[in-house]
Chains A and B, each alone.
Chain A
Amino acid sequence: MTALHLPLALAGAPLLKGVINRTKAFYAGRTGQPVLQPYHDLARLLRKGAVYSKTTTWLFRAGPVVSLASTMAAIALLPLGAVPALVSFRGDIVLFAYFLGLGRFFTICAALDTGSAFEGMGASREAWFSALTEPVLLLGLAAMVKLTGELSLTDLAASLGPQAMLEPGGAAILLVAASLAATALAENSRIPFDDPATHLELTMVHEVMVLDHSGPDFGFIEYASSLKLWALGSLVMGVLLPVKTGSQGFDLLAGGSSLAALAVGVGVVESVMARLRLTRVSHYLAGAAAFSVLALMIVQGNP
């Protein structure tokens, strides 16, 4: 009963993309694809064979596997509101950030391994943006650690409650939630940082790195990206809306619905604004980093 977050995430993550798609379809005046379409896509990809270029090495094949495994491992450390994580120990915050980093490192290596100009460009952009999002994430979490005095994600989430917003340092929570939300959009290649729906290789960041993957490998990548959306989404919602009902069942339900609400929010953002010019992305991420630093300063000032 205590570790239900991981199974829920594994089962429910693709649904988030389905919700985003339906929200965007609503704004575009279309019916849109079925909410469960991402599951059908995954099933289809897993049934297919994969094609490997002769110029690639084991790194290319390792990319999707490692990124999926590391994202799953990251979720194992992550609580959903009051629902504790599968594994929890002091300092798992740092491990969480670097599980995500590990997956990204292998995705980048796999992209570089293909030797394609497009994928090299995508890898360079991914490395550039992640160099900016990583400090945002770590500084934001550091502010929360300082505020709550807890060093594990589960304990941290448990000690954040609705009342924490009203206490001194509550403003820091809002700032961290905002910077984590920016991180979540950037890391999951959503608008305004990237456009997951585009077919234009020259403008892509994340999508262009995985152009050469096919079949089950591509299925792994798609699944891992759904999980990553879930992971960062639950981090944001855990900070912003820490619902605690006292009942595990209701907590799970509340956590799941808050993520669905987040997916609707992402869909709305994607429907009402254009994506940023690529060179401006760093400005926005620097802004998010400033939010995290400010939160840390507020927390330091209110011991």
Chain B
Amino acid sequence: MTLHNGRSAPLAEVPLLGVGEFRAAVIEAVGGGRGLSAFFGWRHEGKVRLLAALSDDSAGRLSLLSCEPGERYPALTPAVPQAHWFERELHEEHGVTPEGHPWLKPVRFLPKPGAVCGVTDFFQLKGEEVHEVAVGPVHAGVIEPGHFRFQCHGERVLHLEVSLGYQHRGVERALRGGPDKRTIHYIETLAGDTTVGHAWAYCQAVEALAGMEAPARASALRAVALELERIANHIGDLGALAGDVGFLPTQAYCGRIRGDALNLTAALCGNRFGRNLVRPGGAAADLDGGLAAEVLSKLETLRADAAGAVNLLWDSPSVAERFERTGAVSTDDCRRLGLVGPAARACGVNLDVRRDLPYGIYRYAMIPVSSWHTGDVFGRAQVRWMETQRSIQFIRELLEGLPGGPLRKEVAALPPGRVAVSLVEGWRGEICHAAVTGADGRFEAYKVVDPSFHNWFGLAYALRGQGISDFPLCNKSFDLSYCGHDL
């Protein structure tokens, strides 16, 4: 069945295929260039039901497929590598065994008797000159916990295994039975740096289930906040990339400019991370002409400052030498691994939910897709800078012609037995929320797929054959979320 982004359909209309048919359909769709936006299971009428959401057919729609695999089924991963992480998650959460999965380990170490996060067997190389380096979960900087296990030969990394789960809070379980008063707050803190992205994905899912749409003015304000979030994080990342190669000026200035972008978000809604702005049915904060003019003028200052700081990066040969050919992922590998967001666009994979599956205001206002062809740290930095500039231009256009009308509409009680898939292009990439309502109109399942969930394996892959001293730089160029992954 096909579905537009931000629309819902009765669950009964999603084809319930046999395992063989389901596998064949997924393999064919992914082979035809579609991405696995979500692939998850939930308990439906006593059995585990699997739902796969494949993104982007030629008409910009999502395809939904489902099946009931029972205890075990032949794994998709050998044919569809991007199912790797999803199938591990499925096995961990529901005990369904994908047979033939090459590396069936937990992704989050859900609390079970005897299970300790990170205590597991890691892939190991044997040999006299091979050595192992364990990094984390406690790191030197003020960052989130995650464990990285390197297999090295001298300075060269032969294999990296990423082990996460330290930030697991059980959010998806807490969301079940919603929506209620707490839901939006859980959503806004799924990944604190993507507050607006996740909040929009959630609100869009709820609106889709209720069969309504947010008013145009709210949608435009959401887009302003989403692009400001992108600007702040991209500029912060560019500064941090400069810091990781010891390039002082860009690091110092970008740190400040990121704060300026966050302050613009605060001017919109009172919170630097965009909390309390996006709400089901619309937006909770409006802006008048005076504020819009102020935001526009500050945005122009920000643009000039950022250009000054970031262009230093491109003009310094010593920086180019560090960025180029570091952590490169080829276009083919990127497609196979199903990377999303700037990491994918830096590999020349031209994906962007804002254009491919447009939602909200993006159906009427176009933002150019920024891509690069090298797939290395330089490419990822370059894409972030292009996107920053285009987001600034886009906000300018939006604020100069903000639609009028109401800001928020009432959301009716959710109808029972429906499924909605909501995709938003956050600053890290495709955010996917999938919601299924039960017979009582409450969430029977609520699935969150943060872009980090797709991309962590990409980071591990990018490190192969690299110097271990380049890991922090590669890691920062992907800049993935730990809590968004661990949920």
Contacts and interface: CB of A to CB of B under 8 A. Distances in A.
A279 B470 CA distance: 10
A85 B106 CA distance: 65
A50 interface: no
B319 A117 contact: no
A48 interface: no
- Specify which of B242, B249, B319 lies most central, judged by the most chain A CB atoms within 10 Å of its CB: B249
Interface in B121-138: 131-135
Contacts of B249: 27-28, 271-272
Contacts of A276: 318, 321-322
B135 A192 contact: no
A276 B316 CA distance: 12
Given A29-B252, A192-B318, A203 B469 contact: yes
B470 A277 contact: yes
Contacts of A198: 244, 246
Interface string B457-487: 0000000000111111100000000000000
A156 to B, nearest CB: 34
Interface residues on A, range: 20 to 34
Contact of A203 (B132, B251, B252, B472): B472
Nearest to A270: B248
A270 B316 CA distance: 13
A74 B161 CA distance: 45
Nearest to A197: B246
B140 interface: yes
A273 B471 contact: no
B246 A202 contact: no
Given A28-B248, A191-B246, A202 B135 contact: yes
A51 B135 CA distance: 22
A274 B472 contact: no
B113 interface: no
A195 interface: yes
Given A117-B131, A121-B133, A274-B318, A202 B248 contact: no
A278 interface: yes
Nearest to B140: A199
Given A28-B248, A191-B246, A202-B472, A277 B140 contact: no
Given A117-B131, A118-B133, A198-B246, A273 B468 contact: no
Interface string B328-359: 00000000000000000000000000000000
Contact of B322 (A30, A120, A271, A277): A277
A24 interface: yes
Residue of A27, A117, A201, A277 contacting most chain B CB atoms (<10 Å): A277
A278 B155 contact: yes
B362 interface: no
Interface string B234-248: 000000001011111
A280 interface: yes
A61 B247 CA distance: 35
Nearest to A195: B246
A166 interface: no
A28 B251 CA distance: 8
Interface of B: 131-135, 140-141, 154-155, 242, 244-249, 251-253, 256, 316, 318-319, 321-322, 326, 467-473
Nearest 6 CB-CB pairs, A to B?
Answer: A28-B252, A195-B246, A275-B246, A274-B245, A274-B247, A200-B472
